[in-house]
Structure 1
Amino acid sequence: MGTFFFAGVPYKFEDRVLAHLQASITPKLQRREPFLVTWGEGIPCASGHTAIWLTASSSLIFEFENGSAPELNPIWKAVLDWSAGTPEGMWLTSEEDAVQFARTPKGQRVLRLLKQVQARDG
């Protein structure tokens, strides 16, 4: 069980969830792109409904119980990356929900678009 600290407040997540959060949040903040992150009870170890506004000046700590981040699921990460760029902000979904979304026609379009952007940006 890892901990995500935002402005000194700890939020507990499974290490696998925390790794995907870190992998999606970090590049956006490096580009100085503020955005909303929301999660609810469907996320392992999360409780209640929480939304936080992240900016490049946000104080964040990602603390993993096992000392290192687990392997990432590229589909889950891509869905989180995409949702972070929407007007509603990043909705932290479960890995299963992200894979389900990726199987839909809209999800397939999102994944194709993300691949094109990644190829362009190198």
Structure 2
Amino acid sequence: MGQLFYDHIGPAVDIDDRTLAHLRVVITKKLRRQESFTLSWKNPDAHGRNTIWIHPAIPVKFDFDGPEPTDLNQEWIRRMADSAMTGGGIVLTGEHADSGVPAGS
């Protein structure tokens, strides 16, 4: 289980390494272009959800539990990148859009 640290706000967000690897690609590309967006996820206890505003001036850190990088699913990266350009921003979901399984489950 990896962790996303964002601007020293609260505790880190636990995200499985595979999802975090894909999210890192999208966030890095957006921030390199000086683009801001929202990132949302369901709380692991299934009560509520969180949204943060990702901005190039705010530090972000990705900590991976495993030592090896994962193979990347370009379609999943594309879906995340496309959603980052919408008003709803990136909403973490399962790798397969039709799976209905939230990321990190």
Which residue identity lines up with residue 75 of structure 2 in the other structure?
I
Structure 2 residue 5 is matched with structure 1 residue 5? yes
% identical aligned pairs: 34
State the structure with bigger RCO (CA 8 A, min sep 6), 1 or 2. Answer: 2
Partner of 1:18: 20
Partner of 1:90: 90
TM-score (norm 1): 0.71
Partner of 2:34: 32
> How big is the alpha-carbon RMSD for the aligned residues of Structure 1 and Structure 2?
1.7
Can you give the 5+ residue segments of structure 1 that lack an aligned partner in the other structure?
A: 102-122
Instruction: Show structure 1 runs of 4+ deviating over 6 A.
Output: none
Can you give the 5+ residue segments of structure 2 that lack an aligned partner in the other structure?
A: 100-105
Larger Rg: 1
More helix, by proportion: 1
- Per-residue deviation at 1:33? 0.5
Partner of 1:77: 77
Q: Please list, as runs of the form range in 1=range in 2, the aligned pairs for 1:36-115 lying within 5 A after superposition.
A: 36-41=38-43, 46-47=44-45, 48-97=48-97, 100=98
